[in-house]
Amino acid sequence: MIRARRIGFAVIGAQLVFLLGFSVLQYSRFVQTWDFVGPYQAWSQMAHGHLDPSIQSWSLHYVHDHGELIQWPLGLLFRLWPSGLLLLFVADVAVAGAEAVAFSWIVEIVAERVSPKGWQPRLLIASGAALLVANPWVYWSLAFDYHEESLATLFAVLAAREFYRGGHWRAIVWTVLLLSTGDIAGTYAVGIAVMLICLGRFRQGLTLAAAGGAWVALFSVLHLNEGSSLIAGYGYLAVGSRSPATLTLSHLVVGALAHPQRAILSIWSKRTAIWANLAPAGWLGLISPVAGGLTTVVLLTSALHSSVLFVQPGFQTVVVYVLAPVGTVYVVSSLARRRPRLASLLAAGLGVNALIWATVWLPRLDNQWVRVSPGAAAVLRRALHQIPPDSEVIASQGVAGRFAARPLIYAVQVDSGAVPVRGDVWFILAPSQGTETAPVNGTLQMIAAVARLPGAALVDQGAGIFVFRWRAPLGAAPIIFPGTGAAVGGWEVTGDGGAPEEFGPVSEWAAGASGSAGYVVRGDYWRERAGRYQVSVRLATDGPVDVEARDATSKVLLWREALEATGSVQTVTTIVDLRRIAGEHAYQGWGPFRSQVLQPARGDNLELRVWTPGGVAVSVYSLSVRPVGQKHRPPASGSEGLQPSEGRPFAFRW
């Protein structure tokens, strides 16, 4: 057992080295998003003595997000190492530490429940280690910014293990630290209480359940759980199809109990994601007394949310990935007393199953979570070093995280509403880089709007990143970015045969031909629904060019017109019929190893291009797409990739 413990710790140590290295890679690529802005800005402000940090992008004070009280002492670490990488390292160490505790618990369970003779104990321990280390969702959870669930997982596993071993006072200490991680920790405490009740410790379990429930209720009364969105996420359980204006926790519970069919339908609609969360961690953990309670509470909390996003494998369920293997080994060890051969086959099968899940999903880690190219990262790094620390930054949410160590930072999308501007304002806009949820054409139109601001200067551009500086006049009104119906400048979407021409007033900026054959413009993706559209290209050329409209998702050519020399600036216009929307393919695994994951933006269907054979002077000034004969409606957006519970009239934008 000592040797097994040492080998297991060595494997988890190697996993931690990988996690830290991957965090360094992500941080160097500037892939931190909206979710990273809050904790990074909060830690930075705490380290400078601002103990009630306000997060502009979230429109709240940090303490009102989830009441993560432990962040205040942790924020002092930022004084020792003022880098956002510290947050990623804290999460990596916390989850790896939780796995080490869980592995020690597995070894203890095998030692007390299985005969030490033969190879069976080693097989059970090896299976438990595989369930912990090979689970691909552990890596995916830590790849998505920084979330307090990582620390909550560490303290939850420590508290559960101490309660199981009978270490009363140590268990209380770990529970207090668990509750300090925020409102969600109250549900974890209830899950641990179920474990105690299953083990026959009714008084202790009921006391802990009451404490966890009271913690959640207290945070609701004090409005310290605004990030949990109880009304938007769970209101349908109480009121069905109506979206309530207000909803108390007691009304939610009573309404859900009175209409259980709503919860059942919601859970059933998300069965694939629930299975994916549980299968690589060991589904037997769900029926074990040591892990079943917490696993059930966490999965139910995620599955009952009206959006499928919250039950897709990720940081919300990381405690299941660490604790379910303990419960699985507990069940198999109990079986080993009566049916040793069956227990051995089951342990081996579970370990192999975890390895197959890792084979299917771990190779997708880089493609899913490192969506900024090295060239784009170089432009962002130059901007980070160039922007003064007291300047305001307005950045696309997919790359905003690294810029959050400042008093004024706004992570924006196309529909972010009014954004206040003060003094020296920098814009970092990335239409096609990062885990971006805004439609490409929407961000391109934001770029054009910023370029037209009086006195705005394009400081840097390259690899799909645009950096502007604007000295906002005193008393300037908040900026409201345009919707997705305006034109796109050709200089924003130069192709392999083009180069930006940014001289004179913005209205004269264009994409010019580079002299070689290729597309002067491309990549202006317009996210639209099926229908008829008027497409327009404003250009000038002294030789032959081809103007095209394509369904960029299905690679279908919708229209092409060959032009000769125009002699002057002309606008080429036609009507195209987009008959069918073909959503972008999202990898979902195969066979029983499938999962619903964060979907790419669907509906990027229209793209306008201008091709030159080379040796021709071409200037493309603008491109536009407008619906024809359709009533006014908002264009398709990233929310099409979200799937609310069946029958629930909620709309979500992520």
Report the pLDDT value the prediction gives residue 586, as an integer from 0 to 100.
72
Distance CA 29, CA 384 (A): 12
Question: Is a pLDDT exceeding 80 seen at residue 447?
Answer: yes
Sign of the C-alpha dihedral computed for residues 379, 385, 391 and 395 taken in this order: positive
**CATH number, residue 613:** 2.60.120.260
Distance CA 38, CA 464 (A): 25
pLDDT tens figures, 470-503: 999 988 888 887 766 678 999 999 999 999 999 8
Report the pLDDT value the prediction gives residue 249, as an integer from 0 to 100.
67
Question: Is a pLDDT exceeding 60 seen at residue 641?
Answer: no
Confidence of residue 244 (pLDDT cuts 50, 70, 90): low
Domain boundary pick from 469, 486, 503:
486
Question: Is a pLDDT exceeding 60 seen at residue 636?
Answer: no
Residue 612 counted as domain residue: yes
Residue 641 counted as domain residue: no
378 and 266 both lie in a single domain: no
The 8-class DSSP code of residue 244 comes to -
Question: Is a pLDDT exceeding 60 seen at residue 149?
Answer: yes
Q: Which two tokens stand for residue 601?
A: 């933006």
pLDDT tens figures, 372-417: 999 999 999 999 999 999 999 999 999 999 999 999 999 987 667 7
516 and 621 both lie in a single domain: yes
Domain count, the chain: 3
Report the pLDDT value the prediction gives residue 438, as an integer from 0 to 100.
82
Q: 3-class secondary structure for 341-405?
A: HHHHHHHHHHHHHHHHHHHHHHHHHHHHHCCCCHHHHHHHHHHHHHCCCCCEEEEECCCCHHHCC
Q: Which two tokens stand for residue 275?
A: 């299975």
350 and 443 both lie in a single domain: no
459 and 576 both lie in a single domain: no
Structural domain of 442? 374-486
Question: Is a pLDDT exceeding 80 seen at residue 634?
Answer: no
Report the pLDDT value the prediction gives residue 485, as an integer from 0 to 100.
67
285 and 393 both lie in a single domain: no
Q: In sequence order, what are the beta bridge partners of 521?
A: 494, 610
Residue 538 counted as domain residue: yes
242 and 315 both lie in a single domain: yes
Distance CA 550, CA 576 (A): 9
Output the CA angle 434-313-651, nearest 5 degrees. 70
The amino acid present at 482, given as its one-letter code, is: P
Distance CA 495, CA 77 (A): 45
Distance CA 306, CA 643 (A): 9
Q: Which two tokens stand for residue 78?
A: 């930022």
336 and 420 both lie in a single domain: no
320 and 305 both lie in a single domain: yes
Residue 60 counted as domain residue: no
238 and 91 both lie in a single domain: yes
Distance CA 461, CA 450 (A): 14
Domain boundary pick from 437, 467, 486:
486
Confidence of residue 241 (pLDDT cuts 50, 70, 90): low
pLDDT tens figures, 526-566: 988 888 999 999 999 999 999 999 998 888 899 999 999 98
Confidence of residue 5 (pLDDT cuts 50, 70, 90): confident
Q: Which residue has the tokens 């994951």?
A: 597
**629 vs 647: which has the higher pLDDT:** 629
Q: Are 46 and 72 in contact (CB under 8 A)?
A: yes
Distance CA 81, CA 282 (A): 38
Question: Is a pLDDT exceeding 80 seen at residue 638?
Answer: no
- Other beta carbons less than 10 A from residue 342's beta carbon: 12
Across residues 356-382, what is the average pLDDT? 94
Domain boundary pick from 339, 368, 397:
368
Sign of the C-alpha dihedral computed for residues 501, 502, 503 and 509 taken in this order: positive
Output the CA angle 191-168-156, nearest 5 degrees. 35
| Backbone dihedral region for residue 476 (phi beyond 0: left; psi -120 to 50: alpha; all else: beta) | beta
Report the pLDDT value the prediction gives residue 584, as an integer from 0 to 100.
60
pLDDT tens figures, 42-91: 999 998 888 899 888 888 889 988 889 999 998 888 888 989 999 999 99
Residue 526 counted as domain residue: yes
Residue 42 counted as domain residue: no
382 and 328 both lie in a single domain: no
Report the pLDDT value the prediction gives residue 489, as an integer from 0 to 100.
93
Report the pLDDT value the prediction gives residue 310, as an integer from 0 to 100.
86
Identify the weakest region by mean pLDDT among 212-226, 436-450, 623-637.
623-637
Residue 89 counted as domain residue: yes
Residue 56 counted as domain residue: no
Identify the weakest region by mean pLDDT among 102-116, 228-242, 272-286.
228-242
596 three-state secondary structure = coil
Question: Is a pLDDT exceeding 80 seen at residue 600?
Answer: no
551 and 601 both lie in a single domain: yes
420 three-state secondary structure = coil
113 and 261 both lie in a single domain: yes
